[in-house]
Amino acid sequence: MNPSNYVVLSAVLFSIGAVGVLVRRNAIVVFMSVELMLNAANLAFVAFARMNGNLDGQVVAFFVMVVAAAEVVVGLAIIVTIFRTRRSASIDEPNLLKF
């Protein structure tokens, strides 16, 4: 199978993730969209590793997974804290960090 198809899939997934981040208001969904983008990137890495015939891309993909895991831990903790204080998971409401 042509590995460039995987790259196209990755681009599609990434775009879906990006649109999700931009249009959805619920923090959990936004979060999942971010995960989608990360995994789209992983897919691209792996696909390029296959195309170039070396393992560098796969190594980076593992790094991304580790970072993503750490990010989920911190991110979820923040969301839960915000939900507890505000009774809402909307990301438009906590906009105190502005001018």
Partner 1 sequence: MTELMPAEGVFSLIWLLIALPLAGAVILLFGGRRTNAWGPYLGILTVGASAVIGILMLLGMMQNDPEQRTIGQTLFTWVFVGDFSADMAFQLDQLSIVFVLLITVVGTLIHIYSLGYMAHDPDKRKFFGYLNLFVAAMLLLVLANNYLLLYVGWEGVGLASYLLISFWQIKPSAAAAGKKAFIINRVGDVGLSLAIMLMFVTFGSVGFQDVFGVAGQASEGTLTAIGLLLLLAACGKSAQFPLQAWLLDAMEGPTPVSALIHAATMVTAGVYLIVRSNVIFTAAEWAAIAVIVVGMITIWMGAIIGSAKDDIKKSLAGSTMSQIGYMIMAAGLGPIGYVFAIFHLLMHGVFKAGLFLGAGSVMHGMNDNVNMRRYGALRPLMLITSTTFIICYLAIIGIPPFDGFFSKDDIIHASFERSPIIGVLAMLAAGLTGFYMTRMVAMTFFGKARWEDDVHPHESPKVMTIPLIILAIGATFGGLSLVYWGNIESWLEPVTGIETMELALPAWVFELTTLVLVIIGAVIGWMTYARREVPIEAPRGSWLTRAARKDLYGDAVNDVLVVQPTFYASRWLVWFDNKGVDGFVNGSAAFIGGLSGRLRHYQTGFIRSYALSMVGGAVLVVLALVLVRAS
Q: Which residues bind partner 1 (CB under 8 A)?
A: 18, 21-22, 25, 30, 91-92, 95-99
Closer residue to partner 1 in complex, CB, 23/59: 23
Task: Provide the minimum distance between the beta carbon of 11 and partner 1 in the complex, in angstroms, as a whole number.
Answer: 11
- State CA 56 to chain mean position distance: 21
Closer residue to partner 1 in complex, CB, 18/60: 18
Closer residue to partner 1 in complex, CB, 58/72: 72
Closer residue to partner 1 in complex, CB, 17/42: 17
Distances (CA, A) of 22 to 31, 58, 59, 74: 11, 29, 30, 21
Task: Provide the minimum distance between the beta carbon of 21 and partner 1 in the complex, in angstroms, as a whole number.
Answer: 5
Taking the C-alpha atoms of residue 90 and residue 76, their distance in angstroms, rounded to an integer, is 14
Task: Provide the minimum distance between the beta carbon of 25 and partner 1 in the complex, in angstroms, as a whole number.
Answer: 8
Dihedral sign computed on CA atoms, order 83, 86, 92, 97: negative
Taking the C-alpha atoms of residue 43 and residue 27, their distance in angstroms, rounded to an integer, is 24
